[in-house]
Amino acid sequence: MVSEKLTVINKAGFHMRPAGIFVQAMGKYKSDITIVYNGREIDGKSIMNVMAACMKQGAEIEIRCSGEDEEAMLAEAAGMVKSGLGEE
């Protein structure tokens, strides 16, 4: 398992569009991805779970990846969050 702690920087957080982009990107990996937010573990491949977590700008999250392509998955996931999920 690999993990990284991050801060959600885009103004609208993980609303529908960025959550969809994130989940779609993670779907190509074989590894499992979990987002830890406010003590909850969220399935990073489930659009409903990611949106329901209500991760807003400034949210402190931890992304955990486990599986055969975990390093590549974490690198892409962390890069997406650091870049604002395609938004400002």
Rounded distance between C-alpha atoms, residue 84 and residue 19, angstroms: 11
Number of domains in the chain: 1
User: Does 68 reside within a domain?
Assistant: yes
Give residue 44's pLDDT: 97
Please say whether the beta carbons of 18 and 83 come within 8 A: no
What sign does the dihedral 57-54-46-42 (CA atoms) show?
A: positive
pLDDT, tens only, 42-53:
999 999 999 999
pLDDT tens profile 4-25: 999 999 888 988 999 999 999 9
Q: Is residue 72 part of a domain?
A: yes
CATH at 27: 3.30.1340.10
> Which residues are known catalytic residues?
15
74 and 29 in contact (C-beta within 8 Å)? no
Q: Is residue 88 part of a domain?
A: no
What CA–CA distance (Å, rounded) separates 68 from 59?
28
Instruction: Classify residue 44 as exposed, middle or buried by CB count within 10 Å of its CB (0-12, 13-18, 19+).
Output: buried
Is residue 50 included in any domain, yes or no?
Answer: yes
Q: pLDDT averaged over the chain?
A: 95
